[in-house]
Structure 1
Amino acid sequence: MQSKILVLVSWMTLVAGDVPVTFSVVWASAEKGSFCVPVARDLHGWRIHLMSSDSITRLDITEASVVTTLNNGREFILENKSWNADEHVGDTICVDFLANTDHRLGVLTGHAYLEGFKRDHSTHLPLTDTVSLSSTPATVRSTHGAANTSGTAGKYDYKEVLGLSILFYDAQRSGKLPANNHVSWRADSSLTDKGDNGEDLTGGWYDAGDMIKFNLPMASATTILSWGFLKWSDAYKTAGQEDHMYDMIKWPLDYFLKCWNPVKKEYYVQVGESSLDSTFWGRPEDLPANLKVFKVTASKPGSDVAGITAAALAAGSVLYQTKDASYGARLLSAAESLYAFATTYRGIYSVSVPAAASAYASTGYNDELCVAAVWLYKATRDKKYLEDAKTYHSSASPWAYSWDDTTVGCQLMLYDMTRDVTYRTEVQRFLTSWKPGGSLPYTPCGMAFRSKWGSLRYDANVAFIALMAAEDGIDQVENRQWALSQLNYILGDNKQHLSFVVGFGSKYPLQPRHGASSCPDQPATCDWSNFHSPGPNPHVLKGALVGGPDGTDTYSDKRSDYVGNEVAVDYNAGFQSTIAGLVHLSTTRWSTCQSYSQVLDFLLKPLM
């Protein structure tokens, strides 16, 4: 059966009366429902009556509260939340919910109306599985994010978001910038970065809003970005970003090659001390020279950071196999030798390098070695790497998918490589824990909430795993639906109607915690007075995903808020790759869609 969710019928034909509610079977005893009610006068509080063709035993809903249940579960009176009480003429109140039933009599039908408005039964439409589709997203659902006007189906312009995210990584570049630098307010920086014996350590990405280079999150981000690029390369082509993406991803790969010396068995993992974050505020172009550097060695090992960098290099080698074979071979050689170093000399890098512990304290290294091994198997098809990956693999359901825990990433790649149902079950268990009814709380507006520190980063990373799992045939409908809901939350489906991606839409963060963008153009001075400035950052840090709101959807656009308004290279990685997945779906499966509802039909229809 073709799924039908969020089918939005043009309310211009439903004059202040009933509107249809559409349902689709999601699980054996649950259906997803949605409706949109037009607002004909200003409201300061509202109630909506929801009627169903059959009894509903439980109604899970975020946009409203159920205040009364009537007619044996066939009618519900819904009341606004505190954050959406005020509605204005021309708005629409759109509600999504999950309806649980005790029995199955076919797909539910229903209708809804706004209390206090005349119900005009002459305009009532029958609710069937073939409700006419006549509206575009901009017509039926107001949004303060950037609605899609690109001609590609989808609620938001995901192609635009994809290009913006790449620009964020360009803004993070350290070293001598290329002639095709895309960020006009950035210039050459940190040209004196050198190893203990004069090794050239220029390049790479600054980690966040500060000016330190941390290889662990940098390599993690590079691996995730490369994984998404390989899986959905067509998305980058469609968005006109393929060349830009190759250029962007090569920047950290070149840097990793500089950091690794296979002869000396030394790998530089950090440039700059964490104290720099609290002692310096300004442009990277104004950083002091000869920053302190840190490395892991045979006597002071770092299997985690070396392992994830080997994964990044191996993934890069696959990317460049056809584009630049000699460069791809160089990446693969470095990946294999660095992996050998990581597995021969075991240890946690933040123990060997205490300077890293305050920012990126690692909890282990088997997960990184697992990911490195499986990527090397993908690059070489040497079965010894696959056997290694199985050895390092853990069946545990991890806390999250992040720079510190890549367990579920390895589980998913092992399933992709082997089709062993054991790995599939592990991935399913992890994703189930993140979905409604799992172990995570949800914010009132529907975001899965793992941690207040970079809340959107965790959410987007798991959305990426969900889309990747769907590509491997794991719970396709459910995983795509969930990933889409979380990404749309980030782009504007939240109580602030705010895009949490800087530069996207008409309302987005103006004060991301980012030194370079907070500074005026040179030669003007930039220091802590700019940090404390009440105004917006002089430069728009296009594409940056900020940390995000807390568990109540509360967010403060303040530069001083390093919990909610920080940006970082690992924040954007899973987010960008998920966006690439949505662009891929929109261009390969939605080419005939004329409305957002049809987009969702195609998105949620299992591949045959």
Structure 2
Amino acid sequence: MMIVLLVCVVGLSVVSGQHTGGGKPAYNYGDALGKSILFFDAQRSGKLPSNNPIKWRGDSALHDKGSHGEDLTGGWYDAGDNVKFNLPMASSTTLLLWGFIQWKDAYQSSHQINQMYDSVKWPLDYFLKCWNPHSQTYYAQVGNGNADHSFWGRPEDMTMARPAYKVTASKPGSDVAGGTAAALAAGSIAFKSKDHGYSSKLLNSAKSLYQFAKNHKGIYSSSIPEASQFYRSSGYKDELCEAAMWLYKATKDHQYLNDAKSFHENAWAWALSWDDKKIACQMLLYEATKDNQYKQEIEGYFKGWKPGGGIKYTPCGLAWRDQWGSTRYAANTAFMALMAADHGIDALSLRKWAQGQINYILGDNNKCFSYMIGFGKHYPLRPHHRGASCHAHCDSSILHSSAPSPHVLVGALVGGPDEHDKYVDKRDDYVHNEVACDYNAGFQSALAGLTHLVHTNNLPQADKRKCHC
């Protein structure tokens, strides 16, 4: 007999999915969830708060300013470098908030809810600084990627110029502006019960920034090519769809839903990433409408990702989309699988698949090795990360040193193995050993989804691991 589990989610309508309980967690997903938050704390730029838990980090980039002296301090450093790229930062913030809103009980049961509010408020506060609705300017990046990447040192020790780049009506960036509007709208939902005034401020900024992105369409990297060599967006329809859907969820204004439908792309996404949000748009549209068209697109996406669908799998079972952040792509799709299951799509199969991918990342592989730093007994010791690799004195020789980093970058998810499950812990291997905010974001929300399943006794029995060590 099929039992329907009704789950009331804060900020969302009631969603349903099949009861899929009976399994025991292979790992402490809640512990991993808390560690992931610590990674984002380590990425903070600006004046650090008194409750900063990362003792080896200090204040940095205190003079980040816009072209007219605007205060642009704050936000997250992108990865192992010290640039603030808003396109991936906004994408990361949205994915984190989505999982937080959907599975708030996971943060409560893990005693991480206050830490999560503190964590995600950091980029939201920064986005509010970046957008000026009166001058219709949005600052989308602080720091020059080439200048930054030529410096191997702590963010506290930076002396190079940190130019700020903005989009305007004449130099549009609907991708980065739309993505940020989505994050602000999602933030307004997450903070509504905690701080109504702050929630309203986020929502008002989301509305005006979305309108700016919609009125002045264009791609950021085309408008300001010198600023965005490292994150070149392939389009903006997905970000505008995502922003419109989060605004619809926050306001219930059907004009936003109609906008989202107009920006929707009827295609199977390559993956969920900072650049490609088609599957996110389709998921949000299906949640709101239950239209079979969107369900078919979601099912088609997972058909391509599950075994036999065309994507490569490593011998030990990681769904391997690309060498750049292989764990990131698998974790992001695991997050989407758990979300689809909550909305009644192939619940048992998708939850089992998602659990298998996260278990691989946490240690179910040929090395019994966690690709999350600080989790388990064996994990990376030499991530491609400037701050963690440096004592007070630091230079480029540290990049190529074989010594473990002096600071443990707890919670960071490294890029991961190659398609043969091979991985070498080398600091100068930025393909497989870099860390990034967008690597951790969907991963953390997948951990929240699994923690929720454990908390509600709805975790499925995991498939047997393919490799032993």
Range of TM-score over shorter length? over 0.9
Aligned to 2:257, which of 356, 380, 386?
A: 386
Task: State the partner residue of 1:440.
Answer: 311
Task: State the partner residue of 2:15.
Answer: none
Letter in 2 for 1:176: K
Task: State the partner residue of 1:583.
Answer: 451
Residues 1:557 and 2:417 aligned together: no
Task: State the partner residue of 1:20.
Answer: none
Task: State the partner residue of 1:219.
Answer: 90
Shift of 1:2: 8.6
Kept after mapping to 1: 8 A contact 2:331/2:446? yes
Residues 1:192 and 2:63 aligned together: yes
Deviations 1:185-239 (A, max 9, x none): 0000000000000000000000000000000000000000000000000000000
Kept after mapping to 2: 8 A contact 1:190/1:289? no
* Aligned equivalents of 1:433, 1:297: Cα separation in 2: 38
Kept after mapping to 1: 8 A contact 2:95/2:445? yes
Shift of 1:496: 1.4
Deviations 1:113-133 (A, max 9, x none): xxxxxxxxxxxxxxxxxxxx9
Deviations 1:128-150 (A, max 9, x none): xxxxx9xxx9xxxxxxxxxxxxx
Aligned to 1:271, which of 130, 142, 152?
A: 142
Residues 1:328 and 2:199 aligned together: yes
* Aligned equivalents of 1:516, 1:2: Cα separation in 2: 51
Shift of 1:589: 1.7
* Aligned equivalents of 1:297, 1:277: Cα separation in 2: 25
Residues 1:545 and 2:413 aligned together: yes
Task: State the partner residue of 2:39.
Answer: 168
Task: State the partner residue of 2:6.
Answer: none
Any idea what SS the aligned residue of 2:141 has? strand
Q: Aligned ranges for residues 201-600 of structure 1 at < 5 Å?
A: 201-288=72-159, 290-520=161-391, 524-589=392-457, 600=460
* Aligned equivalents of 2:126, 2:316: Cα separation in 1: 41
Kept after mapping to 2: 8 A contact 1:274/1:355? no
Any idea what SS the aligned residue of 1:294 has? strand
Shift of 1:290: 4.5
Deviations 1:556-598 (A, max 9, x none): 10000010001000000000000000000001125xxxxxxxx
* Aligned equivalents of 2:184, 2:448: Cα separation in 1: 21
User: Where is the helix percentage greater, Structure 1 or Structure 2?
Assistant: 2
Point out which structure has higher relative CO (alpha carbons under 8 A, 6+ apart).
2
Any idea what SS the aligned residue of 1:355 has? coil
Task: Please give the TM-score of this superposition, normalised by the length of structure 2.
Answer: 0.93
Deviates more, 1:356-365 or 1:499-508: 356-365
Identity percentage of aligned residues:
59
Q: Aligned ranges for residues 87-166 of structure 1 at < 5 Å?
A: 153-166=24-37
Any idea what SS the aligned residue of 1:373 has? helix
Deviations 1:311-337 (A, max 9, x none): 000000001111100000000000000
Kept after mapping to 2: 8 A contact 1:500/1:548? yes
* Aligned equivalents of 1:430, 1:549: Cα separation in 2: 23
Letter in 2 for 1:159: G
Any idea what SS the aligned residue of 1:485 has? helix
Kept after mapping to 2: 8 A contact 1:192/1:289? no
Any idea what SS the aligned residue of 2:165 has? strand
Task: State the partner residue of 2:19.
Answer: none
Q: What is the number of residues matched between the two proteins? A: 445
User: Where is the strand percentage greater, Structure 1 or Structure 2?
Assistant: 1
Any idea what SS the aligned residue of 1:269 has? strand
Any idea what SS the aligned residue of 1:486 has? helix
* Aligned equivalents of 1:179, 1:589: Cα separation in 2: 38
* Aligned equivalents of 1:356, 1:400: Cα separation in 2: 25
CA distance 1:460–1:602, change in 2 (3 Å): closer
CA distance 1:269–1:291, change in 2 (3 Å): same
* Aligned equivalents of 1:263, 1:2: Cα separation in 2: 55
Kept after mapping to 2: 8 A contact 1:257/1:331? yes
Kept after mapping to 2: 8 A contact 1:444/1:553? yes
Any idea what SS the aligned residue of 2:319 has? coil
Q: Aligned ranges for residues 17-56 of structure 1 at < 5 Å?
A: none
Deviations 1:59-102 (A, max 9, x none): xxxxxxxxxxxxxxxxxxxxxxxxxxxxxxxxxxxxxxxxxxxx
Runs of 4+ off more than 6 Å = none
* Aligned equivalents of 1:321, 1:159: Cα separation in 2: 24
Quick check: which has more Rg, 1 or 2? Answer: 1
Task: State the partner residue of 1:123.
Answer: none
Letter in 1 for 2:293: T
Shift of 1:301: 0.3
Any idea what SS the aligned residue of 1:546 has? coil
Deviations 1:147-174 (A, max 9, x none): xxxxxx4110111100000000000000
* Aligned equivalents of 1:493, 1:281: Cα separation in 2: 34
Letter in 1 for 2:167: V
* Aligned equivalents of 1:484, 1:534: Cα separation in 2: 33
Shift of 1:279: 1.2
Deviates more, 1:242-251 or 1:440-449: 440-449
Shift of 1:289: 5.7
Kept after mapping to 1: 8 A contact 2:356/2:462? no
Q: Aligned ranges for residues 77-92 of structure 1 at < 5 Å?
A: none
Task: State the partner residue of 1:60.
Answer: none
CA RMSD of superposed structures (Å) = 1.6
Task: State the partner residue of 2:49.
Answer: 178
Deviates more, 1:531-540 or 1:197-206: 531-540
Letter in 2 for 1:331: L
* Aligned equivalents of 1:227, 1:356: Cα separation in 2: 29
Deviations 1:270-322 (A, max 9, x none): 11111134310110000116511101001000000000000000000001111
Letter in 2 for 1:490: I
Shift of 1:357: 3.4
Task: Please give the TM-score of this superposition, normalised by the length of structure 1.
Answer: 0.72
Gapped regions of structure 1 (runs ≥ 5): 4-132, 138-152, 591-598, 604-608
Shift of 1:530: 1.6
Letter in 2 for 1:309: T
Kept after mapping to 1: 8 A contact 2:373/2:380? yes
* Aligned equivalents of 2:329, 2:174: Cα separation in 1: 24
Kept after mapping to 1: 8 A contact 2:352/2:461? no
Kept after mapping to 2: 8 A contact 1:456/1:490? yes
* Aligned equivalents of 1:602, 1:509: Cα separation in 2: 25
